[in-house]
Structure 1
Amino acid sequence: MNRLHALQAHGCVTLGADHSGWRLRAEATVGVLVLDRLRLVIEPKFAIPGGRLMSWLGYALDAPRPLRSPSRRWATRPDGYADLVVTALLEQCEHLVHEGLRRDYVRRETVELVLRGRLDVAAQATRRYGQLDRLHIRAFDRETDVWDNRVLGTALRAALRLTTHPGLARDLHGAAEAFPAAASPSAALHALDRIRYTRLNARYRAAHTWARLILRGGGVSDLLTDQGIAADGLLLRMPALWEAVVRRLMSEVAVRRGGRVLPGNGGAGITVRGDLGNPSAFRPDVLCEIPGRNDSARSLLPVDAKYKRYDRHGISAADVHQLLTYGAGYSSCTKASAAIAHPQPGGRAHRLLEVNSPRGKLATLHVIGIDTDAQPEQAVAWIGDALF
């Protein structure tokens, strides 16, 4: 129960007691949750094929995909999304082994029969009492026992506890033998936070992304960032993941149109003052600045990401009010507009909502349905043509 209450405190699930026990509501969190006596598999509102899901997840994380082969062997059994992330880590590690693991000079203090490197005079005098049959030396050797490889070895061994698929477990065990391991998962996580990427280890970035996700484990919020909950499962907050997808999509759309995405943590929010308590603020998920026909005319388009099935039912009144506020706050009075982006498996869609008042038109709202069965890159050009 402590684990469930901790997940509830972080907004992953909602707990309620009734006469027969406890009722758990997952909201928009999906994944695998391992408890003391049972394993919960929380499925999403609409299923995305395993390979396509990893494409969108990698797109949201901006994780590079250096694999030359377009085929992916994602496990899509009832074990849930945990096996998908484990398989992603495994394929990246197998690719690194095939290319050759990174080696660097590591200092070693050993006892040898011949001199190699530098003689440790103090150790020779205090431990061998001046005898020269064995030499205490200090030498630097190029080895794979560096932190870039240690964190992957630790993550591969931790992934063995997450998967129940026998074939995947066998491949993980084989790959783990090629990598050294850190002293503990916490030491590996600390090293991941300190790693800086150069041309020597840039190819490790994708593998480290999946390793970080495996090592943190448990309750996930703010796009797979650990909030201190330890669990043997893996949970994904789909609204946060979808917001990251839409943010990157709109950023690429704006750049192609000669514009940019404005930062959301600046002074560009719509604020409400004068009420009881602290002032409140309204900030869209994405705020695009797009140039007009002449360079001086630049328009702002607020875009809100919604993880909802708006391909099956109409836009809720609360979301219409929210978009209308954004349109009035960031657009001109004569051309107030805003957009909402939602996932739509199996096809894309674009419809326009007109908000009118007795005095005339208030705003135009774009409802963009993004096809999650297609590659993420295919949506960029289509969104640009639909909105601008």
Structure 2
Amino acid sequence: MNRIREQQTTLLDFPLTEADLWKFDDPTLSKYFTPRPTAKGMTLKVNKVVGLLKLDNADLVIEPKIPVSGDMLLHWLHYATNKDHPISSQKRRWDTDGAYFPDMAVEALLDECRTLLRDQLRKDYQPSNTVEPAIRGRLDLTRQATHRYGMLDRLHVRTFDRTAQIWENEVCGAALQHAAKTAANPQLRQQARQLAVKFPSCTTEAARTALARSWHNRLNLRYRAAHAWAEVVLRAGGVSDLFLPRTLVGDSHLMVIEKVWERVVHRMAGSATKIDGVKIHRSHHTATFTPDALVGQLPVDAKWKDYDQRSVTREDIHQLLTYAHAYQPDSPRAVIVHPSTKPTAKHTIDVKHLGRRVAAVDVISVDVAVPPAENSALLQTLLPH
């Protein structure tokens, strides 16, 4: 297993195949991957995605440019989709040596599925059409007349039987089967295979559809954590748009970290759900710029940048000035929120012209080692009121 860091150019110690290069040429993927031949060999630069990249000759684990544990990335993922993270209530000991978040999600899925089996899988009444030697349930007169007319020992009946073949269990079975094929760790693949046979299953696409429509009530609430992990393993439901499309990357598991950070900041700031963007009219078209969060009329923009090590760029200052004057024209102000490996802190950039302050940009660094729910309370105290 090779490990590389996001936004670093890495010299690969294995050849890229034509299929790999063809994949990287796709217009969508070319934004995230830049392979380049050099005198020493092929290099690869990865931008704004993290996770597991499966190539023909090797698997690459891509880690964030800002050190974030796989555990914390999973916290972010569920927090970003407005779900209580299923590991927040209990400390897990990850058994997967050196695993990154894709395999950690598989490990958690296995744990939750074992718990479901231990407590017995939920059953519910499902309709079924069968042929029986005696009436059980309700006689299907139409089928009997057209298929078994006069055969009194072969009766078409419609029954409602309690069965484990329900969507809650099928989703888990499909996720386990998928994990058995895609997990990087061979032990996890074997464990997933052994566990999958104990669950009813459905196709992967049917499971993704079920997760997109899923609901939980008092009858199936104990499945919520398993389904949350199944979403990550299958890249389905509320997390689907935070991963690169399966049609492009196949069994690779690549999270668009910039999108995740924007969603996390949006929720941490307590932002309004709907934000009307700033429209800029040009001669032939109109462009719209929208901040990642809006707290009252205070624009907040999430930047997946290491602003602990360098100054805020002029481009970002210009963008925030646009927001500040659009949303707070009387006293222009805007906020940048960026990740940090240091305790959460704040400083202010005064933008001046001819000695007069024309706007203020507050720069808030958020400690990535602290769960987002805890950071939210601190962030909201640092936001100007």
TM-score, normalization: structure 1?
A: 0.81
**Residue 46 of structure 1: aligned partner:** 66
1:373 aligns with 2:369: yes
Residue 329 of structure 1 deviates from its aligned partner by 1.7
CA contact (8 A) 1:52 1:373 kept: yes
- The aligned runs of 1:247-266 (5 Å cut-off) are 247-251=266-270, 261=272, 263-264=274-275, 266=276
1:317 aligns with 2:314: yes
CA contact (8 A) 1:83 1:162 kept: no
Residue 307 of structure 1 deviates from its aligned partner by 0.7
Greater mean deviation of Cα atoms: 348-357 or 198-207: 198-207
CA contact (8 A) 1:59 1:245 kept: yes
- The aligned runs of 1:303-382 (5 Å cut-off) are 303-333=300-330, 335-382=331-378
Residue deviations 1:182-232, cap 9 Å, x none? 1x2223323333445554445544433432343348xx9842373632511
1:345 partner letter: T
| RMSD, matched Cα | 3.0
Distance 1:374 1:60 in 2: 15
**Residue 107 of structure 1: aligned partner:** 127
Residue 111 of structure 1 deviates from its aligned partner by 4.1
Q: Where in structure 1 do 4 or more consecutive aligned residues deviate above 6 Å?
A: 125-129
CA contact (8 A) 1:7 1:229 kept: no
Greater mean deviation of Cα atoms: 50-59 or 231-240: 50-59
SS in 1 for 2:269: helix
SS in 2 for 1:6: coil
- The aligned runs of 1:1-388 (5 Å cut-off) are 1-6=21-26, 8-9=28-29, 11-16=31-36, 23-65=43-85, 70-74=90-94, 77-120=97-140, 130-133=150-153, 135-182=155-202, 184-216=203-235, 222-224=241-243, 226=245, 228-251=247-270, 261=272, 263-264=274-275, 266=276, 269-275=277-283, 277-289=284-296, 300-333=297-330, 335-388=331-384
2:257 partner letter: M
CA contact (8 A) 1:82 1:233 kept: no
Residue deviations 1:337-384, cap 9 Å, x none? 111101112421211111111141112211111111112121122112
Residue deviations 1:255-307, cap 9 Å, x none? xxxxx62622x3xx2222243x3122222111110xxxxxxxxxx21111011
CA contact (8 A) 2:70 2:100 kept: no
| Unaligned ranges ≥5, structure 2 | 1-20
Residue deviations 1:31-67, cap 9 Å, x none? 1111222222222113223333322222112223456
Distance 1:121 1:144 in 2: 28
Identity among equivalent positions (%) equals: 38
* CA pair 110-221 structure 1, distance change in 2 beyond 3 A: closer
Residue 79 of structure 1 deviates from its aligned partner by 4.9
| Unaligned ranges ≥5, structure 1 | 252-259, 290-299
Residue 317 of structure 1 deviates from its aligned partner by 1.5
SS in 2 for 1:232: coil
CA contact (8 A) 1:103 1:143 kept: yes
Distance 2:39 2:303 in 1: 35
Distance 2:57 2:88 in 1: 42
SS in 2 for 1:362: strand
Residue deviations 1:310-329, cap 9 Å, x none? 11222112111211221122
Distance 1:328 1:198 in 2: 46
Residue 385 of structure 1 deviates from its aligned partner by 1.9
* CA pair 51-68 structure 1, distance change in 2 beyond 3 A: closer
* CA pair 126-321 structure 1, distance change in 2 beyond 3 A: closer
Distance 2:245 2:200 in 1: 24
